Amino acid sequence: MNDFSQAFAKALQLIFQLDPALLEIIGLSLRVSLTAVFIASLIGLPLGAALALYKFPGRGIIVALLNAFMGLPPVVVGLVVYLILSRSGPLGVLGLLFTPTAMIIAQVCLITPIVAALTRQTIMDANDEYHEQLRALGAKASRMMKTLLWETRFSLMTGVFAGFGRAIAEVGAVLIVGGNINHATRVMTTAIALETRKGDIELALALGIILITLSLIVTSLVMSAKHAAYQYHS
């Protein structure tokens, strides 16, 4: 127990001293996951809205896949992306394996289904409510879609934050495709796993505290987005 409190004190010290190694790892984590959530939103928001509003062949299959992929195990995503990016894989020539780009690709695969599925559900519910009224008011299809996206913006943000929360906290995918290389692809979750095994509890604990704090911030953002959405819905 004494060891633990010592480690804890040391961890806090690292945080408040703005330890450079610590900052580097946090910076890369944020860069990878924020980029991933940005790209996933660029794909997932319009995809989800299109799935909600338009009928086209194959829609049912895409929806089923999206819902199934929402809960993909990160290690499996990592494995698949690894196989694709490895030397002998189809995209091996790009030489992306063990780079932050590979980690971003893996996280995009992981969270795009979450953003798209939540967007689809949100837009579908809103469409049920609004469609007839907007039509009666004289809104055309393109305007209707814009209106629905704007009206549900807080609920859509919930989906985006949920995606970010999953990306920043996962370890399996970034470990496999990133390789946890010091100063190159080491992020918070992979560093925690490694440092704990090495016995360097202080750094692991400091990163753990930061990660939990980030999670809390994201969760409270989700909650305030939900709250804002609720206020607008009531």
Partner 1 sequence: MLHTNIIANTNTINILPLQVKNLQIVKKGNLLLNDVSLNIESNDVTIILGPNGAGKSLLLRTAHGLEAPTQGSLKWNTTVPLPQQSWRAYIFQKPVLLRRSVRANLEYVLSLHDVDKNDYDSLINSALEYTGLSSLAERNARVLSGGEQQRLNIARAWILQPKAILLDEPTAELDPSGTAAIEQLIKTIAEQGTKIIMTTHDLGQAHRLANDILFFHQGKLIEHTPAKDFFKYAQTQSARDFIDGKLLTGSIEK
Residue 159 Cβ, how far from partner 1 at the closest point, in Å? 17
Instruction: Kindly give the interhelix angle for 2-16 and 201-233, rounded to the nearest 10 degrees.
Output: 70
- 67 versus 121: smaller Cβ distance to partner 1: 121
Residue 130 Cβ, how far from partner 1 at the closest point, in Å? 6
Within 193-232, which residues bind partner 1 (CB under 8 A)? 232
Q: Which stretch binds partner 1 (CB under 8 A): 54-62, 72-80, 143-151, 207-215?
A: 143-151
Is 147 a residue that touches partner 1 (CB under 8 A)?
yes
The Cα 52–Cα 89 span in angstroms is: 35
Among 133, 142, 183, 199, binds partner 1 (CB under 8 A): 133
What is each CA distance from 9 to 15, 18, 94, 192, in whole angstroms? 10, 14, 44, 17
Q: Which stretch binds partner 1 (CB under 8 A): 18-26, 34-42, 128-136, 193-201?
A: 128-136
Is 124 a residue that touches partner 1 (CB under 8 A)?
no
Hey, is 200 helix, strand or coil?
Answer: coil
Length of the chain: 234
What is each CA distance from 209 to 3, 52, 202, 216, in whole angstroms? 17, 39, 11, 10
Residue 115 Cβ, how far from partner 1 at the closest point, in Å? 21
Among 55, 87, 140, 183, binds partner 1 (CB under 8 A): 140
- Residues of this chain that bind partner 1 (CB under 8 A): 129-130, 132-133, 135-140, 143, 147, 151, 232-234
